[in-house]
């Protein structure tokens, strides 16, 4: 969850959002996703399965009723729904089920590789033993790769609003329990009131253990937070970073040093980080030479999916099929997948584009 701070916009579809003819191209395109949250990816279908395991929960059990439940009336309702989903994740089997089923939703969108942001502290604080949590996500990861063809890696994220104790606990789990799929360390939660520099010692420890640094920054605050993420947390990619568009010196720095931004257009509108899709700064970021990737953040919560986000990006940037394929290859190139995996997925994207009749 990046920031439970606003209701989502109505659901859209890639066909509706994409320039003519591109919806089908995007849907079939093999893709990588680098910024998507674990609990925030629980679709109504997955929530129904979790609710069936916990009949005492107030969450509706029927999928059609759940679709209505997921239509957010206002901010308070959004928080209510999010917390009721959190309440359904009570044991290691819930974690395993959620993770595997998120991968199934990814497979349906032809997502081949995803770095899933998980927040182990939330589950451990609710009584799931840390080792059981690690075993559950790893078990789901291996099954998803074997059975669904979706390669998952983890970003362990610490929620800013839980402060430094949660960061200490998260980095301890990352370093001491170190699940095989773990590649990076992140910082989510609110930015306002939670400056990035105090988290430096925890990022230092994660980086020393060989993890990549991928904090959220510059989503709801200005460019200074992105600078702080770069200088204090040694960020290799920035979650969101959209406010960089307001600082030409920062844009030049990001472009020169090849620091990519993980852009999530619909999320930015839903959280009011940008006023509308039409005013999203994605075109300015690209024009400045910054590497951008397109992502969905908390897709069902924001009434979107990765295909729809690609459609929005294609329209904002005026892309054709080849341009969309380039965007997909950006994500592969700046991912933390190994070299062989990157080469394989890039070749798959090139092959798909070459075979596209348009
Ligand atoms: Zn996020």
Give every residue of the chain whose pLDDT is below 50, as ranges.
Answer: 1-11
Q: Give the Å distance between the CA of 239 and the centre of ligand 1.
A: 6
Residue 17: the pLDDT is: 75
Q: Which residues contact 51 (CB under 8 A, 6 or more apart)?
A: 57, 59, 60, 61, 66, 88
Nearest Cα to Cα of residue 311 among 3, 58, 12: 12
Among this protein's residues, is 9 annotated catalytic? Answer: no
120: nearest Cα among 9, 201, 39:
39
CA 151/CA 3 separation, integer angstroms? 26
Q: What is the CATH topology of the domain spanning 14-38+100-119+139-176+185-355?
A: TIM Barrel (3.20.20)
Q: What is the pLDDT of residue 72?
A: 73
pLDDT value of residue 13: 63
- Residue 8 CA to ligand 1 center (angstroms) comes to 14
Catalytic residue among 49, 115, 191, 219: 219
**Ligand 1 centre from 268 Cα, in Å?**
10
Tokens 């998120």 locate to 102
* pLDDT at site 211: 98
What does pTM read for this prediction?
0.94
CA distance 265 to 128: 33
Burial class (CB within 10 angstroms; exposed 0-12, middle 13-18, buried 19+) of 167 = buried
**Which strand (E) or helix (H) includes residue 106?**
helix 92-108
Output the CA 351–ligand 1 centroid distance in Å.
Answer: 31
């Amino acid at each position: 969850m990046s920031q439970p701070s606003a209701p989502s916009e109505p659901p859209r579809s890639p066909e509706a959002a994409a320039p003519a003819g591109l919806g089908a191209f995007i849907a079939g395109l093999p893709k990588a996703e680098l910024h998507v949250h674990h609990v925030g990816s629980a679709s109504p279908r997955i929530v129904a399965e979790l609710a069936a395991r916990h009949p005492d929960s107030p969450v509706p059990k029927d999928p059609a009723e759940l679709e209505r439940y997921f239509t957010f009336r206002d901010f308070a309702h959004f928080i209510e729904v999010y917390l009721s989903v959190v309440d359904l994740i009570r044991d290691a089997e819930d974690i395993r089920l959620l993770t595997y089923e998120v991968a199934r939703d990814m497979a349906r969108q032809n997502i081949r590789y995803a770095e899933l942001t998980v927040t182990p502290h939330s589950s451990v604080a609710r009584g799931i033993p840390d080792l059981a949590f690690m075993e559950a996500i790893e078990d789901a990861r291996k099954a998803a790769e074997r059975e669904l063809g979706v390669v998952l890696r983890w970003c362990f994220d610490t929620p800013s609003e839980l402060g430094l104790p949660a960061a200490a606990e998260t980095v301890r789990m990352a370093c001491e329990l170190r699940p095989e799929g773990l590649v990076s360390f992140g910082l989510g939660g609110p930015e306002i009131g939670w400056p990035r520099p105090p988290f430096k010692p925890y990022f230092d420890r994660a980086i020393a253990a060989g993890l990549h640094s991928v904090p959220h920054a510059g989503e709801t605050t200005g460019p200074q937070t992105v600078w702080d993420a770069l200088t204090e947390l040694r960020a290799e990619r920035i979650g969101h970073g959209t406010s960089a568009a307001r600082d030409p010196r920062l844009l030049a720095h990001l472009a020169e040093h090849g620091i990519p931004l993980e852009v999530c257009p619909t999320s930015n509108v839903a959280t009011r980080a940008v006023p509308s899709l039409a005013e999203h700064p994605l075109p300015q970021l690209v024009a400045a030479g910054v590497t951008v990737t397109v992502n969905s953040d908390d897709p069902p919560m924001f009434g979107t999916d990765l295909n729809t986000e690609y459609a929005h990006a294609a329209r904002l940037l005026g892309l054709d099929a080849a341009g969309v394929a380039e965007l997909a290859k950006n994500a592969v190139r700046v991912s933390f997948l190994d070299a062989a995996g990157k080469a394989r997925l890039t070749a798959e994207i090139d092959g798909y584009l070459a075979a596209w009749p348009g």
